[in-house]
Structure 1
Amino acid sequence: MAWGLAMWSLATLLTPWAANHSTTSLLAVRAFFGLTEGVALPSISTLLSRWFPTQERASAMGISMAGFHLGNVTGLLLTLVMLSTMGISGPFILLSSIGPLWLTVWAYTVTNDPRESRYISKSEVRVIQAGKFDSPKK
């Protein structure tokens, strides 16, 4: 997930340059963006399977997908405002700069396994582990 975020932030930053350079460059950068963004949903599914008991996974995935789509809609609406105030390159530069900030927070707070997290209690880890019906995978 972290690598995907870093790469799609880079692709977002390169989009105005590519658009000014050539149609081929723009298509290549946007294809790269699509490929790197493609890691988001599988990564979210994997993390939720590790962080939620089996009986809570569907709800967690539903909430995550609602947030995913709400973020898309909000971003599209805010982009219109940014375009009118910052010009055509402004939203790309601003949104690509948010990625590394989010990545920094992610790197220091999110772990692949709840047992490795310093932000949840041992009792929470026990609840998560007790609610898993499948065997843990490395």
Structure 2
Amino acid sequence: IGVTAILTLLTPLAAKGGIGLLIAVRIIEGVFEGVTFPCIHAVWSRWAPPTERSRMASIAFAGNYAGTVVSMPLSGIFANAYGWESVFYIFGVVGCIWFVAWMFFIKTSPEVDHWISPKEKEFILGSLGRTEGVKEKIKHPWRGILTSAAVWALVAS
């Protein structure tokens, strides 16, 4: 989120630097933004009880789409009032503020979060079950992934 917010802020400057620089900045931003949805699932896997995961992910994804619905008309208003560059500056600043708030308030797991009560922490950890040692047992088929035509079609799209 932080990288994409900074790249959003830099978009008007990249446009002044030429079409090649603009395209490069937007591609890099897309690469960093592309991991957002998988990261949401990773966060919920450490926080949400299995019976609530689908609901929580749906709320997060709905928030993404609601943000798009709100930001589209606002972009037109900002562009008409202050110029097209203002859209990138305003949403870039909002993204930076969101990133700082996220880093301050959101923790990687309940074990390291000091905002939740011990009772809530116990409930979450109890509902997730034991996960020690599970990560070491997973063998990822990287060769198959990297040579998959379907994966490269997704990357290209």
Shared fold (TM-score greater than 0.5)? yes
Q: Which has the larger radius of gyration?
A: 2
The residue identity in structure 2 corresponding to 1:124 is E
Distance (Å, rounded) in 2 between the aligned partners of 1:59 and 1:6: 26
Deviates more, 1:59-68 or 1:17-26: 17-26
Task: Show the 5 A alignment for 1:38-49.
Answer: 38-49=34-45
Instruction: Give the aligned partner of residue 147 of structure 2.
Output: none
The residue identity in structure 2 corresponding to 1:47 is V
Q: Is the 8 A contact 2:2 2:95 kept in 1?
A: yes
Please state if 1:103 is matched with 2:91.
no
Shift of residue 133, structure 1, vs aligned partner: 4.5
Task: Show the 5 A alignment for 1:1-138.
Answer: 5-133=1-129, 135-136=131-132
Distance (Å, rounded) in 1 between the aligned partners of 2:118 and 2:61: 28
- The 3-state SS of whatever aligns with 2:128 is coil
Distance (Å, rounded) in 2 between the aligned partners of 1:104 and 1:20: 28
Aligned residues: 134
Shift of residue 35, structure 1, vs aligned partner: 0.7
Deviations 1:97-134 (A, max 9, x none): 12222222112111100121111111111111222246
Consecutive unaligned residues in structure 1, runs of 5 or more:
none
Q: Which has the higher contact order (CA 8 A, sep 6+)?
A: 1
TM-score (norm: length of structure 1): 0.89
Consecutive unaligned residues in structure 2, runs of 5 or more:
136-157
- Deviation above 6 Å: which 4+ runs of structure 1? none
Identity %: 30
Shift of residue 39, structure 1, vs aligned partner: 2.1
Distance (Å, rounded) in 2 between the aligned partners of 1:127 and 1:91: 43
TM-score (norm: length of structure 2): 0.79
The residue identity in structure 2 corresponding to 1:23 is I
